[in-house]
Structure formats: C-alpha cells, structure tokens
Structure 1
Amino acid sequence: MMVFKRKQIVVLSLVLMIVIAGYLQYSYKKSSILVSEIADSDVPRLGEAVYVDNSALFDGEVAEKTEDSDKKDNKKDDKNKTVQASKQANEFFAQAKMDKDKTRGKNKDELENISKDPNASKELKSQANEKILALIDKSEKEMAIETLIKEKGYSDVVVFIADDGSLDIVVKAQTLSDIEATQIADIASRQANTEISNVYVRPTF
C-alpha cells in the first residue's frame, strides 16, 4: 500500500513537472512573439538608424527659396523698368530740346531774311526785328528758368514759352507733390513775369 502511494506521488510529480514545463515553453513563445512584434514595429531601438522624412522640411525650404527668388526677380524687373523709363525720359528731353532749338533757329532765320530783304517794307522789317528780339528773349528766359529748376535738384528740365505768354514745364521726376509743383511754377512766373496760373508743370520719368 505504501509502495502504491509513492508511485502515485511520483507520477503526479512527473505530470506536474510536464505541465510546468509546457507552461514555461508557452510563456517563452508568447514572450518571443511580443519581442518580434516590437522588432517589426516603427519604434526605433537604441543604436538603430532612424529614418526621418524630410519631405515637409524640404518643401518648406524650397517654398522659401522660391519666394526669395521671386522677390529678387521682382526687384530686378522693377529696376529694369526704372532704368528703361529713365532712358526714355532722357530721350524725351534730348529730342524736345533739339526740336525747340531747330524750330527757333528756323523761325529766326526766316525773320532775319525778311529784315534784310531790300524789297521788304520798313514796317515789315520792323515787325521781323521785334519778333527776332522776342525769340531771343524767350530763349534767355527759358534757359534761366531751366537753370534755376535744376538747382532744386532735378536732373533735367525743359521749358516752353508760348506766344500767349503761358509756360509749359516738364521736369525729370517720377512724381511731383503739390508743394514741388508750386515751387517750380513760382520760379517760372517770376522769371517770365507772368501769373502763376499761366504756368503748367508736369513730371516725366
């Protein structure tokens, strides 16, 4: 009877050991699966190289560089337009002065021919001489006004005095304030001895 109980105890012990061994093996496998899941996950481990997605950062840098490039291009375009406008203004002033001198010179030559014509009447010669003096007076006043306006800081200016006594003044400037236009008109009215309301001022650039 005692022998049977001992055998039973031994058998139970073996069964218990088998059960424990099976449980431990199951636990180990379960633990291994968890480790593999971690290994396959996106969580970086110590010492492992980490991939960083720089696409958003790169796109931001590209956008910033593009914006800077656009600003530079716009500034360059504005500068080119300013240079082109200034060139056109220079051509305008040069052509305007040339045309004025050419017209004045032609008128003066015709008047001098009349004043020297032996067949012309004394009255006609007198009128021609008066007009010659008037042309000279206009030219001198225009030159004086242009000089005084340039002294105000304007790089170029052209003045036209019409036969009715009105003045047209064009100054090289992008814009003119009311104060600046009034100052220019005041100079012209004093030099030409006319009312300021007869003076017309405009900028060009």
Structure 2
Amino acid sequence: MILFKRKTLLISFFIVLLVFSMYLMMSGNYPKVIYRDTNVPDAEEVSTLNPPDSESVSAKNGSEKDFFVDYRLERDRLRSQEADYLREIINNPNASQESKEKAQKDLIALAEKVEKEMNVENLIKAKGFEDAVIILSGDSANVIVKSEGLSTKEVAQITDIVTRTTGLSMEKITIVERK
C-alpha cells in the first residue's frame, strides 16, 4: 500500500512538472532569444560602489557562476530518481506486463533524451561557447548559453546544432543568454 502511494505521488509530481513546463513553453513566441539587460552593473562594479554589501554581492556572483553546474547536478538527481522509479516497476513481480513494457519504453526514452542533451551541450561548447545546458521537453527545447551577447551568426549556429541533433523545428527552440 505504501509503495502504491509513493508511485502515485511520483507519477503525479512528474505530470504536474510536465504540464507546468508545457505551459511555460507555450506562453511565449518561438523562436526567441532572451538577452540580459546590459545596463545592470557587474558584481565587481557593485562591490566597489558599495563595500559593506560586498559579501552578499560576491556570494551572489559565486552562485551565478555555478548555475550551469548546479542545474546539471539537479537534473541528474531528478533523472536518477525517475530511472529508479521505472526500474522498480520493471522489477516488481506484482506489476502487469503492460506496465512493465511501458516502463521499459520510458526508460529507453529517458536514456535517449539524456544522450541528445549531452550531445547538444557538447557541440555548443565545441563551437566556442563557454558553457550551455539544454532542456528538452516534449516537442520543444530551451537552450541556456553562457554568453556576454549572442550575434545572429551564433544564434544560427546554436539553432542548427539543436535542429540537427533533436529533429525539432526552429520555432520550437528558445535560446536564453546567461552571463
């Protein structure tokens, strides 16, 4: 009974997460590139202007630098939980054959998604970008690139990589800059 409640809770969580991410993706115009505000001073400038707050500024600056690492760690943790849940279904002797087959297909799809994301991220880095993460969700992709400003050529390069690797059309891709 407890195992059933846990599975139901996990499934409900993933469904809510999927619906929320689809809502966020559908609420914008595709393709789009989000540029950061260039009028906002850098953390170094703020710390020289306001010395008493330099600790909080440097802490914030440190967390900004770790965004890509933190995101990957959290994504890997959630994927690991999802994979464990699917393996539990596959190995459960009380589960129906139908649910075991669906869990196997979902596990294979998860592995393929992980591989696509890793390939896109590495190809973007190979083009000379410092770092990037991609979020594949259903039939769309969000790419977050570490950049001071993307040129039209760079946007085209990133879009080309994502379309070739994932098979998604250009209007299903959002590119976000992050310093």
TM-score between the two structures when normalised by the length of structure 2: 0.65
- Secondary structure of the structure 1 residue equivalent to 2:66: helix
The partner residue of 1:95 within 70, 74, 78 is 70
Assess, with a 3 A threshold, how the Cα gap between structure 1 residues 118 and 148 changes in structure 2: closer, same or farther. same
Unpaired segments of 5 or more residues in structure 1?
1-73
Q: Render the CA deviation track for 1:8-59: whole Å, top value 9, x for unaligned.
A: xxxxxxxxxxxxxxxxxxxxxxxxxxxxxxxxxxxxxxxxxxxxxxxxxxxx
Structure with more helix by fraction: 1
2:90 corresponds to:
115
Separation in 2, partners of 1:92, 1:154: 15
Match for residue 121 of structure 2 among 146, 149, 171: 146
Q: How does 1:24-39 map to 2 (within 5 A)?
A: none
Q: Summarize the Cα distance change of 1:102–1:77 in structure 2 as closer, same or farther, 3 Å threshold.
A: closer
Which fold has the larger relative contact order, with Cα–Cα distance below 8 Å and residues 6 or more apart in sequence?
2
Residue 121 (structure 2) pairs with residue 127 (structure 1)? no
Q: Name which of 127, 136, 143 aligns with 1:169.
A: 143
Is contact 1:146-1:158 (8 Å) kept? yes
Partner of 1:153, secondary structure, is: coil
CA distance in 2, matches of 1:76, 1:158: 23
Give the paired residue count. Answer: 130
Equivalent residue letter for 1:183: Q
Q: CA deviation at 1:174?
A: 1.6
Write the letter of the residue equivalent to 1:143: M
SS at structure 2 position matched to 1:155: coil
Uncovered stretches (5+) of structure 2, i.e. residues with no partner: 1-40, 49-56
Query: 2:161 maps to which residue?
Result: 187
Q: Contact 1:148–1:187 (CA<8 Å) still a contact in 2?
A: yes
* Cα 1:80–1:169 shift into 2, 3 Å: farther
Identity over aligned pairs, percent: 32
In the alignment, the residues of structure 1 paired with residue 65 and residue 43 of structure 2 have an alpha-carbon distance, to the nearest angstrom, of 21
Match of 2:111 in 1: 136
CA contact (8 A) 2:133 2:143 kept: yes
Cα distance, 1:126–1:77 mapped onto 2, change above 3 Å = closer
Report the CA distance between 1:165 and its aligned residue: 2.2
Larger Rg: 1
> AA paired with 2:82?
N
- Rate the CA distance shift 1:86–1:177 in 2: closer, same or farther, 3 A: farther
